[in-house]
Structure 1
Amino acid sequence: LVDGVRVPFVALGIIVIIIIAWMLFKRSRLGLYMFALGADPEALHLSGLPVKKIQLKIFVLAGALYGLAGVFMSASLGSGDGNAADSFLLTTFAAAAIGGTAFVGGRGSAVGTLFGALTLLAIPKVLFVIGVSDWTQKVAFGLLVLLAVVAGAFSSLRKDREQLLVAPYSTPTEGELSTATKGGNA
């Protein structure tokens, strides 16, 4: 009980995991490496960091979180059906996209994904209250996911374009200028 309101164990667990994920993403070296690896693995390699070791750590962490999600799902359902979460696959990607995670890597947050998931939970309820049919709710859901992915792609494209515009240009040295003006660069 939290202030007289009964809060499910799974909800408390998810809140704890979100806080830990936020701290990992924003406050740890591994979190920094995750975003760097997603944005440009070659740059991470050229920086002298062990890319394969970092990838292994990320995959192990992801696998542990998948297992924990399975435990929470089993606790919630009271059974251990391996196909119980099949219907959540699109919803998971949609929550990440709506939360601002770039599928091309380098950008995203645990809190943003949580807000994306909460948005996806609220939309069907609001549409039901308004009186929208089930079929139309699914179309609205699909359009929202499409809009989020397209907006994320345009945002990434815009950031890439801005980085190209502010990229440092080399300026010629005095020696290069004097040989160019004397006709020495034939």
Structure 2
Amino acid sequence: MEEKKEKKGTSSTKAPAGATQYKQHLVKFQSLIALFMLCLVIGLLSDKFFTVANGWNVMRQISVNICISVGMTLVVLTAGIDLSVGSILALCGAITAGLLKFGLEIPALDMFIGFTVLGAILAGMLTGTALGAFNGWTITKFKVPPFVATLAMLTIARGLTMLWTEGFPISNLGETFSYLGTGWFLGIPLPVWISGIIVLAAVIVTKKTRLGRYIYAIGGNESAARLSGININRIKIIVYSIAGGLAAIGGLIVTSRLDSAQPNAGMSYELDAIAAVVIGGTSLSGGRGTIMGTVLGAIIIGVLNNGLVLLDVSPFWQQVVKGFVILLAVIIDKANSKGE
């Protein structure tokens, strides 16, 4: 009788463990399942979806979001947020285009500086990195909440873009620059190569370096990280600088692909980036998430955008759908956090 009771006891404890393991696997692969279902539905509704041309088109579009989303992931891992990436993207693209086409004139010194393609690109990337560093400095120095600080930068950068361009596009930037967004290398679009290199570098940083460990530590428990000797302020400034620099790279790709710097470029790009991060499994509370998860989230957002366009859905309804997707992703994230 005792042996039977013991067997019953052991079998009753194994059932919940199996259920928990099943739930963990489901949570782990939920983004892949969602992507598969989304592709299946769109493929059934549109015969243009599963074509080579559309596949490369989606990859090009995703490349820009991946650049921004990788930086956003690093920020969110520290329990922060960056709402300014779309505006920084527009400003850096405009500055690069302006310097490339018109150069820089300094009347006070009676000086004119011309820029090569490489020089203009570096100037744009430097601008994005500097704006990101300013975000980090404002957040750490004055203890301004990241939401407020980056919201302010969103407005500042958008205003500076309008001032720089005077509200008009800067176009006809030359074939050399346009190759950055439209060129191919070894049969793959150049923007895909750029985003792939960024992803690889970010994976190495987050998994193999001290900086990556510090980022996770700050997001997991900032007080404990500070007590263990981590320079919280320096790490946050570095992270926001990286986010600004990657937004600038996204701006270069967009400007190059269009062969034009549009004053209103990057509108709502921060929402797509946040959606990719959350859908990819990164917790908005910080300390939990992966770069590859974000890449998967960016692919889901890219496929969703492409599918809505192919199905001729109104742009207004597209915003509604994406809003619900973000909300659903946050709800799932909170549910997973509670389960843990």
Give the shorter-chain TM-score range: 0.7 to 0.9
Q: What is the CA–CA distance in structure 2 between the aligned matches of 1:84 and 1:132, rounded to whole Å? A: 22
Match 2:214 to one of 13, 29, 33: 33
Note the C-alpha offset of 1:124. Answer: 4.0
Cα distance, 1:132–1:78 mapped onto 2, change above 3 Å? closer
Opposite residue 54 of structure 1, the aligned amino acid is I
Structure (1 or 2) with the greater strand fraction: 2
TM, length-normalised to structure 1: 0.73
Give 5+ residue unaligned stretches, structure 2. Answer: 1-183
Map of 2:275 onto structure 1: 94
Q: What is the CA–CA distance in structure 1 between the aligned matches of 2:238 and 2:334, rounded to whole Å? A: 27
Opposite residue 61 of structure 1, the aligned amino acid is I
Contact 2:214 2:230 in 1 (8 A): no
Match 1:104 to one of 264, 276, 285: 285
RMSD, aligned CA:
2.2
Q: Aligned to 2:295, what secondary structure does the other structure show?
A: helix
Cα distance, 1:144–1:2 mapped onto 2, change above 3 Å? same
Match 1:9 to one of 190, 195, 198: 190
Match 1:121 to one of 265, 282, 302: 302
Cα distance, 1:15–1:46 mapped onto 2, change above 3 Å? same
Moved over 6 A (4+): none
Contact 1:10 1:76 in 2 (8 A): no
Contact 2:282 2:294 in 1 (8 A): yes
The question of 1:144 aligning with 2:325 is answered yes
Map of 1:162 onto structure 2: none
Q: What is the CA–CA distance in structure 1 between the aligned matches of 2:312 and 2:325, rounded to whole Å? A: 15
Contact 1:95 1:116 in 2 (8 A): yes
Cα distance, 1:132–1:150 mapped onto 2, change above 3 Å? farther
Note the C-alpha offset of 1:12. Answer: 1.0
Contact 2:281 2:289 in 1 (8 A): yes
Map of 2:257 onto structure 1: 76
Give 5+ residue unaligned stretches, structure 1. Answer: 160-186
Q: What is the CA–CA distance in structure 1 between the aligned matches of 2:274 and 2:329, rounded to whole Å? A: 10
Q: Aligned to 2:265, what secondary structure does the other structure show?
A: coil
The question of 1:53 aligning with 2:241 is answered no
Cα distance, 1:77–1:109 mapped onto 2, change above 3 Å? farther
Q: What is the CA–CA distance in structure 2 between the aligned matches of 1:58 and 1:115, rounded to whole Å? A: 21
Cα distance, 1:60–1:75 mapped onto 2, change above 3 Å? same
Q: What is the CA–CA distance in structure 1 between the aligned matches of 2:231 and 2:313, rounded to whole Å? A: 52
Q: Which has the higher contact order (CA 8 A, sep 6+)?
A: 2
| Overall identity of the aligned pairs, in % | 31
Q: What is the CA–CA distance in structure 1 between the aligned matches of 2:239 and 2:306, rounded to whole Å? A: 35
Map of 1:21 onto structure 2: 202
Q: Deviations over 1:14-68 (max 9, x none)?
A: 1110111111111111011111111211110011222222222222222222222
